Amino acid sequence: QRGHRVAVLGAAGGIGQPMSLLLKQSSSVSQLALYDIVGTPGVAADLSHIETQSTVQGYQGDEELDECLKDCDVVAIPAGVPRKPGMTRDDLFNTNASIVRNLVQACARSCPEAMICIITNPVNSTVPIASEVLEKAGCYDPRRVFGVSTLDVVRANKFVADAKGLDVSTVTVPVVGGHSGVTILPLLSQTTPSVSFTTEELDALTDRIQNAGTEVVNAKAGAGSATLSMAYAGARFVLSLLKAMSGSPDVVECTFVKSDVTDAPYFATPWRLGKNGLEQNLGLGSLSDYEKSKLEGEVLPALNKDIHKGSDFV
Ligand code: APR
């Protein structure tokens, strides 16, 4: 069986570099194709010395983009500008929306069947943009377009484990909704192993998970937003997808995708992944009253706005 060719677009950036390193360490990747507008020859040369099987090739600038994407099975997109203090993810909208549109147009030309994993924020809007672009190009398969919201799950697992003194390797918290502020809805009532929370704990944990990105933006004091934890989450998602594409049966990740579980046309829930990408939506499960009221009152109104902003852009 041929291994997988994986492209990282924005590979020289704060997320792109550590994510490429994590992918280089995995035996599931046979070719790593690194693209950026600047800096990729250096990053590729550096990573290519690591003693793992995969080949690494750097591509730089518009004229090398299509060659980078050719024969790719999975494309991860962290290209864009990061958030600075005082900026919301939506302030990034105009710049990042155009970057994602251009890169996905190139995917439609050069690897129309690839799985496309969008990391560039605001994900609530960039996933609709990617989907509209592919639709217009006549190659949209909703099973193959993912918003990488994995960092919300990673953070929820860690914060709950810390708050309750649990071994984090055993903790799983499904996180649904969107990937920004109040649109992020951790389903703490469905934490495994089963834990109970007071209302104060629910409020504090929900708030921390929703605003964890801002915690990092403020701590970095002008130097950008989460990169290392996002790279970890991005690599976790891509490697899960590759595992599922290779035939592993029980791969589940929460991801922000085209969805019909609520009235928001894109929505994150846990999904079983398979050879063709999204395979089975595991849905919302049974929500607590606390979660129901957040979903209706806060998540859906804000998320629908973000989604329309993206769809209207294309
Ligand atoms: N094509 C490819 N790469 C691009 C393009 C483009 N059109 N425009 C910018 N880039 C590259 C930059 O050259 C840089 O190497 O994207 C990379 C972005 O890296 P950083 O500026 O370090 O930003 P980072 O912290 O990695 O965040 C990138 O991910 O989570 C989101 O909100 C974050 O949207 C932001 C993105």
Q: Along the 314 residues of the chain, how does pLDDT read in single tens digits?
A: 468 999 999 999 999 999 999 999 999 999 999 999 999 999 999 999 999 999 999 999 999 999 999 999 999 999 998 777 777 766 789 899 999 999 999 999 999 999 999 999 999 999 999 999 999 999 999 999 999 999 999 999 999 999 999 999 999 999 999 999 999 999 999 999 999 999 999 999 999 999 999 999 999 998 889 999 999 999 999 999 999 999 999 999 999 999 999 999 999 999 999 999 999 999 999 999 999 999 999 999 999 999 999 999 99
Burial class (CB in 10 A: 0-12, 13-18, 19+), 274: middle
Residues 6+ apart with CB under 8 A from 228: 18
Q: Are 126 and 147 in contact (CB under 8 A)?
A: yes
Q: Are 8 and 20 in contact (CB under 8 A)?
A: yes
Q: Ligand 1 mean position to 65 CA, how many Å?
A: 15
Q: Ligand 1 mean position to 89 CA, how many Å?
A: 13
Q: Ligand 1 mean position to 78 CA, how many Å?
A: 6
Distance of CA 52 to the CA centre of its chain: 25
Nearest to 244 by CA among 109, 144, 129: 144
Burial class (CB in 10 A: 0-12, 13-18, 19+), 6: buried
Distance CA 102, CA 183 (A): 26
Burial class (CB in 10 A: 0-12, 13-18, 19+), 102: middle
Nearest CA to ligand 1 atom 19: 13
Q: Are 275 and 233 in contact (CB under 8 A)?
A: no
**Number of residues that make up the chain:** 314
Distance of CA 81 to the CA centre of its chain: 16
Distance CA 224, CA 220 (A): 6
Ligand 1 pocket test: pick from 17, 35, 37 the residue with the most ligand atoms within 8 Å of its Cβ.
37
Whole-structure pTM value: 0.97
Which atom of ligand 1 is closest in space to residue 11's alpha carbon? 15
